[in-house]
Amino acid sequence: MVRILLIEDDKNIQKLLNLELRHNGYQIDSAYDGKEAMEIFSKNKYDIILLDLMLPKKSGKELCSEFKNLSDTPIIVITAKDSVLDKVELLDLGANDYICKPFDIEELLARIRVALRLKNDNTSKDFLIEEEIKMIISTKQVFLNDEEINLTKTEFLILEYFMKNKKISCSREKLLTNIWGYDFDGEDKIVDVYINALRKKIDKESRYIHTIRGFGYLFQYKEREE
């Protein structure tokens, strides 16, 4: 059974997440402050850490850095903050992902599944497949209906990120951070330019890459409506 360390000082949120995660088959240990979290973590082995950012006694940022120095357990940060600087700093400290309050429990569950899949599979998995699209990571090849498609380096990286994070909404900001890097100082419109180019090559019928107006994109195969 997957074991999760949930670190959240809001008792109402803590209770709700405990119920939802246990209902979905996860084993949960809980901590309400940073000091307690480190004590619990030092005594047990976890598959995922859900980490609130604003904690008493020791901050989420401190914990994130300390956890990464001690293990490779994936960390998903739960935060009320929503600035680019905060998110970039968290990723630099070792967080694998983040989700901003308020959030839908289904999105959190999806992010947990992705983190577990990446931890267990992607370090050794060389093939990514989504319906008619097949990617071979080691050779940087992409096939659509068994026909090889010539992608640029950036297009390949965007598609790879999408396929590893399918069914999870991806903001333009997150794509910029993961594809162009933390120090990119250009406009986020460059994301749309590359997405449009990628669509022309592998998604002319708009069945894979879906625009979320005002936010970003979702990669998920959907049959085209007649």
| pLDDT (0 to 100) of residue 213 | 87
Residue 47 reports pLDDT greater than 70 = yes
3-121 adopts what CATH topology?
Rossmann fold (3.40.50)
pLDDT tens per residue across span 90-120: 777 778 888 888 888 999 999 898 888 877 6
* Average pLDDT, rounded, for the chain: 85
Instruction: Say how far apart CA 96 and CA 111 lie, in whole Å.
Output: 10
Pick the more confident residue, 36 or 65.
36
Q: Which one is the CATH code of 126-219: 1.10.10.10, 1.10.1670.10, 2.60.40.420, 3.20.20.140?
A: 1.10.10.10
CA-based max dimension of the chain: 57
Q: Phi and psi dihedrals of 138, rounded to 5?
A: -65, -35
Q: Phi and psi dihedrals of 193, rounded to 5?
A: -60, -45
For residue 84, the SS3 value is: helix
Instruction: Say how far apart CA 114 and CA 197 lie, in whole Å.
Output: 26
Domain range summary for the chain, segments of one domain joined by +: 3-121, 126-219
- 79 token code pair: 């935060």
**Confidence band, pLDDT 50/70/90 cuts, at residue 158:** very high
| pLDDT (0 to 100) of residue 48 | 94
pLDDT tens per residue across span 203-216: 998 899 999 988 88
Pick the more confident residue, 45 or 85.
45
Pick the more confident residue, 185 or 13.
13
Instruction: Say how far apart CA 147 and CA 107 lie, in whole Å.
Output: 34
Place of tokens 């497949």: 129
